Structure formats: C-alpha cells, structure tokens
C-alpha cells in the first residue's frame, strides 16, 4: 500500500465525537496514514493531533471534507466497510494484492450510509454480516490487510509505554525546559549547567546537519552530566543513567547518557575501571553525537579536537584517543563537513 486513508462519512460532531475519535485512534495505531472526516470538527482534530504529538508517528487528520467528491476523484482502491458486503476473509488477499502499489481508502459510516458509497466502492467488505461497531470492523480489516505487522509499529513518540505485566510505566522525552528543571532539581550547579548548554549547542548543530533525532540529542546533551550531581568520577555516566532511569526518561536518552564518556568504554575497559561490566560504546547516531560534542567542550569552552585527544595521549590512553579521532571523522563524513567547523 502506498498510503491508507480512512474516509469517515456522516460524522455528527454533537453525537459521534467519541466514536469517531476511536475510529481515528484505531486507524492511527493500526497503520493508516490519515483520516478524512466529512463534517468539520475542530475538537476532534485537536484530540488526534495531541495524541500524535505525544505518542509519535505522522498520522494526519482533516475534517470538513466533501466525501463524495473525494471518493469520486480518489486514485486507488476503494473499500467500504459494511455488514452487507463480501466477507473479509473471501476478499482480503485480492484487496491486498491489488492495493500493493496503490493508495487505499477505507470508508466507514457514522450514521446511515447513502447508496453512492456502496456504488462508488471497488469492494463492499463485511466483518461478519452482523451489525458491529465501526471501530472493531476497522481494526479487524486493517489487521487482516497488514497481517498483524501493524501491531509491531514503532511510533518513536515523546511518550512511550514500557510494557509491564503488572503496574504501568510511561517513559518520556523531556523538553529543554523540563531538562533544565530536572538538572536543577537534582542539584546541578552553574558549572554543570553551563557546560551542558555548551555541549547542547554543538550537539544540536551536528544533529540538524546529520538529520538525527533532534529531541533525543537535545535532551541527551542537556542531561549527559546529570550524574556529576553525585560523583565526578569515571562512573558519573552510569550514575546519570540511573538517575534518568528512575525518573522514567525515555530509554534512548538513558543510553545516550550512559555511553557518552570519550568515544565510549569497551567491555574490557569497564572491568578495569571498576564500572558495572558492560560495553558502553555509543551505537546510535544520537549517542555518537552527544559523546563527540562533549569531547569538543572543556568546562564551558569549545576546544579543538587536538586538545582533547592530546589530553588522552598524555595519560597514556592511546586507544581511547584514536577512537575519539575515528568518531570525529565518522560524524564529519555523515555531515559532509568537519563537525568542528559547524
């Protein structure tokens, strides 16, 4: 499918707000790209846009659409979900094959659906021939169409659920303001905050240039030294990741913080340094960016790469110095410019 659109017809804002919200939420979670609703409903738009802003993805909603014109002009496969249609299990393979490289629109009614929708559709499809909720009809249709793959979708949102057998855990990507508040609440002094701000400025430039996830890089850079509120030793990154884990910060940020020392610490080095035995090498682009931005800042001043690697070499840390140079080159290649010049 090139794209999946849900066309919601005869939506009555005064009566159907809740059920249409559920149609839209199900459409979004089950892999559709957008929902078009015939009658204008700003509240509905706001509700769905807020969910997308928090939980991620790029699902779109538009209300106030002339559905008849839209359906007539629609270039692709048109499916109308109705209890009067062909059983889904009889036509789903054909629809999937036919729609493989085409757009797909799925029509779901709110109140009585006029005959044009039946006539203008490529397929009238039923999910049982009994009257059921449009939410369940849509969910089952999308699940059959996408063969369950939609259940594994990753929305990369600012809020994410950490599945748990009992209890409930929601993790989040903090905004800049929230990061500064967290730093202060944890007792970060002016020195830590100024340093973190400088690292953030460099990291954000590299992130924009390399199309990394900016929200993760910003939060990771601002919080990378939060562990220094409890220790200034080599273990400050581990301490920082523990603080953020406890605060239910998104795991991707926890890992950025945990892996920001130098160009990372290998499993073998972690043992020699007395850290919890683990490989602390930055893996994702965002982890690499924050680690290297930190390597280009000393206190609250930007320093040339040569100064940082020189300090490592003076301490006999040749391998670590080489890794920092390698990381610098890797990120500079991705950015198409020496990251020190950004």
For residues 54 and 158, is the Cβ–Cβ distance under 8 A? yes
Question: For residues 59 and 141, which CB has a smaller minimum distance to ligand SAM in the complex?
Answer: 141
Residue nearest ligand SAM by beta-carbon distance = 109
**Residue 103 pairs with which residues in a beta bridge?**
3, 76
Question: For residues 122 and 178, which CB has a smaller minimum distance to ligand SAM in the complex?
Answer: 122
What is the DSSP track for 68-80? Answer: HHHHHH--EEEEE
CB atoms within 10 A of CB 66: 11
307: left (phi over 0), alpha (psi -120 to 50) or beta: alpha
Give the residue, chosen from 25, 86, 132, 342, that forms a contact with ligand SAM under the rule CB under 6 A.
132
Number of residues that bind ligand SAM (CB under 6 A): 17
Question: For residues 137 and 293, which CB has a smaller minimum distance to ligand SAM in the complex?
Answer: 137
For residues 303 and 292, is the Cβ–Cβ distance under 8 A? no
Residues 76-105 as x/- pattern, contact with ligand SAM by CB under 6 A: -----xxx----------------------
Which residue stretch of 30-38, 122-130, 169-177, 285-293 sits at the interface with ligand SAM (rule: CB under 6 A)?
122-130
Give the residue, chosen from 13, 25, 86, 113, that forms a contact with ligand SAM under the rule CB under 6 A.
113
Residues whose CB falls within 8 Å of the CB of residue 205, separated by 6 or more in sequence, listed in order: 339, 342
Give the residue, chosen from 71, 77, 99, 127, that forms a contact with ligand SAM under the rule CB under 6 A.
127
Alpha helices in 129-189 (DSSP H): 134-145, 176-185
When asked if residue 342 is in the footprint of ligand SAM (CB under 6 A), the reply is no
Whole-number Å distance between alpha carbons of 126 and 123 = 10
Compute the least distance from the CB of residue 244 to ligand SAM, in Å: 45
Compute the least distance from the CB of residue 77 to ligand SAM, in Å: 16
When asked if residue 302 is in the footprint of ligand SAM (CB under 6 A), the reply is no
Which two structure tokens, joined as six digits, stand for 213? Answer: 């996830």
Cα distances from 72 to residues 27, 75, 76, 131, 239, in angstroms, run 22, 9, 11, 27, 60
When asked if residue 29 is in the footprint of ligand SAM (CB under 6 A), the reply is no
Give the residue, chosen from 31, 56, 109, 157, that forms a contact with ligand SAM under the rule CB under 6 A.
109
What is the DSSP track for 274-293? Answer: TS-S------SHHHHHHHHH
Residue 188 φ then ψ, to 5°: -65, 135
Compute the least distance from the CB of residue 111 to ligand SAM, in Å: 6
Whole-number Å distance between alpha carbons of 196 and 257 = 12
Compute the least distance from the CB of residue 22 to ligand SAM, in Å: 12
- Crossing angle for the helix pair 176-185 and 214-223, to the nearest 10 degrees: 20
Give the residue, chosen from 73, 119, 131, 341, that forms a contact with ligand SAM under the rule CB under 6 A.
131
Compute the least distance from the CB of residue 53 to ligand SAM, in Å: 28
Compute the least distance from the CB of residue 12 to ligand SAM, in Å: 12
Residues whose CB falls within 8 Å of the CB of residue 272, separated by 6 or more in sequence, listed in order: none
Residue 247 φ then ψ, to 5°: -85, 5
Question: For residues 131 and 336, which CB has a smaller minimum distance to ligand SAM in the complex?
Answer: 131
When asked if residue 303 is in the footprint of ligand SAM (CB under 6 A), the reply is no
Compute the least distance from the CB of residue 290 to ligand SAM, in Å: 48
Q: Which residues bind ligand SAM (CB under 6 A)?
A: 81-83, 108-109, 111-113, 126-128, 130-134, 137
């Amino acid at each position: 499918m090139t794209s999946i659109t849900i066309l919601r017809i005869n939506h009555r804002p005064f009566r159907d707000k809740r059920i249409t919200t559920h149609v839209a939420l199900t459409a979004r979670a089950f892999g559709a790209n957008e929902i078009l609703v015939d009658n204008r409903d700003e509240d509905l738009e706001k509700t769905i846009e807020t969910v997308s802003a928090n939980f991620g993805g790029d699902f779109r909603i538009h209300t106030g659409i002339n559905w008849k014109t839209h359906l007539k002009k629609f270039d692709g496969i048109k499916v109308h979900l109705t209890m009067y249609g062909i059983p889904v299990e009889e036509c789903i393979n054909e629809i999937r094959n036919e729609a493989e490289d085409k757009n797909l629109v799925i029509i779901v009614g709110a109140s009585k659906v006029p005959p044009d929708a039946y006539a203008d559709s490529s397929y009238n499809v039923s999910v049982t021939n009994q009257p059921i909720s449009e939410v369940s009809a849509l969910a089952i249709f999308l699940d059959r169409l996408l063969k369950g793959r939609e259940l594994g979708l990753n929305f990369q949102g600012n809020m994410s659920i950490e599945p748990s057998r009992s209890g409930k855990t929601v993790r989040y990507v903090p905004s800049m303001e929230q990061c500064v508040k967290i730093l202060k609440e944890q007792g970060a002094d002016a020195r830590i905050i100024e340093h973190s701000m400088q690292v953030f400025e460099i990291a954000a430039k590299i992130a924009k240039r390399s199309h990394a996830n900016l929200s993760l890089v910003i939060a990771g850079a601002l919080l990378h030294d939060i562990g220094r509120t409890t220790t200034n030793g080599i273990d400050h990154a581990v301490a920082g990741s523990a603080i953020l884990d406890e605060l239910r910060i998104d795991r991707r940020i926890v890992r950025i913080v945990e892996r920001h020392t130098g160009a990372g610490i290998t499993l073998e080095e972690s043992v020699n340094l007395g850290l919890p035995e683990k490989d602390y090498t930055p893996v994702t682009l965002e982890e690499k960016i924050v680690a290297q931005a930190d390597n280009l800042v000393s206190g609250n001043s930007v320093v040339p790469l040569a100064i940082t690697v020189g300090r490592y070499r003076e301490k006999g840390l040749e391998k670590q110095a080489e890794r920092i140079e390698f990381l610098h080159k890797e990120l500079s290649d991705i950015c198409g410019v020496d990251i020190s010049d950004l």
